[in-house]
C-alpha cells in the first residue's frame, strides 16, 4: 500500500511538472521569483493576490527567499467567496498576512526542507513540516507537489493548498 501511495505521489509530481511550464530564464535561475510566477499561468491567482497586497516588489527583490507557492487550483479550493473577500481593499492586511505566511527568508532547497520540522515565515509564525516517505506536508494541510524551481533571488516549491496562518483561522468570519 505504501509503495502505491509513493507511486501516486511521484506520478502526481511528474504530471504537475508537465503542467507548470517554465521559461528558459526561469529554468536557468535568471528570473526572480516574481517574474517566474508572473510568467506561469498556473500562478495567476497568486500573482493577483501579491499585486493586491503590494508584495510583488518584495518577491522581485534581492532575497534570498523560499516561497511555498499555491497554484490557482489551491486558491479555487478555498471556501466560496473567501478569495474574493481577501482581494478587497479592506482586507489587504489579512491578505498580506496569509501571503507572507508562504514565504521564508533564505533559500531552502528540497533537500534542506525535508530535514526540518518547521520554518519561520516572513509573517513571523512557524509552519510545521512533516515528511512521510516521498510526501512533504506543510501545516498538516498543504502537500509540496513540485520542488526546487530556482530563481535569481531564491527558490519556489509548489503546494496544493493555501496555508492559513494560525491567527487568521479565528478571523475567517470577519471578511
CATH topology of domain 24-174: FAS1 domain (2.30.180)
Strand blocks (E) in 14-141: 65-70, 103-105, 118-120, 126-132, 135-138
pLDDT band at 25 (very low <50, low <70, confident <90, very high): very low
Q: What is the mean pLDDT of the chain?
A: 83
Q: Does pTM top 0.75 for this prediction?
A: yes
Q: Choose between 84 and 6: higher pLDDT.
A: 84
Gap between the Cα atoms of 80 and 148, Å rounded:
31
Average pLDDT over residues 100-108: 97
pLDDT digits (tens, 9 = 90+) for 124-172: 999 999 999 999 999 999 999 999 999 999 999 999 999 999 865 444 4
DSSP at 22: -
Gap between the Cα atoms of 31 and 1, Å rounded:
40
Amino acid at each position: 500500500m505504501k509503495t502505491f501511495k509513493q507511486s501516486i505521489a511521484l506520478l502526481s509530481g511528474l504530471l504537475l511538472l508537465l503542467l507548470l511550464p517554465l521559461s528558459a530564464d526561469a529554468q536557468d535561475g535568471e528570473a526572480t521569483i516574481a517574474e517566474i510566477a508572473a510568467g506561469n499561468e498556473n500562478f495567476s491567482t497568486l500573482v493577483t493576490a501579491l499585486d493586491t497586497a503590494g508584495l510583488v516588489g518584495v518577491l522581485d527583490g534581492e532575497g534570498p527567499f523560499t516561497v511555498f507557492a499555491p497554484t490557482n487550483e489551491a486558491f479555487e479550493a478555498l471556501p466560496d467567496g473567501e478569495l474574493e473577500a481577501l482581494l478587497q481593499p479592506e482586507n489587504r492586511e489579512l491578505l498580506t498576512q496569509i501571503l507572507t505566511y508562504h514565504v521564508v527568508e533564505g533559500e531552502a532547497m528540497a533537500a534542506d526542507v525535508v530535514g526540518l520540522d518547521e520554518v519561520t515565515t516572513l509573517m513571523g509564525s512557524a509552519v510545521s513540516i512533516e515528511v512521510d516517505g516521498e510526501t512533504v506536508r506543510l501545516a498538516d494541510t498543504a502537500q509540496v507537489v513540485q520542488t526546487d524551481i530556482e530563481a535569481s533571488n531564491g527558490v519556489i516549491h509548489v503546494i496544493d493548498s493555501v496555508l492559513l496562518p494560525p491567527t487568521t483561522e479565528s478571523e475567517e468570519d470577519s471578511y
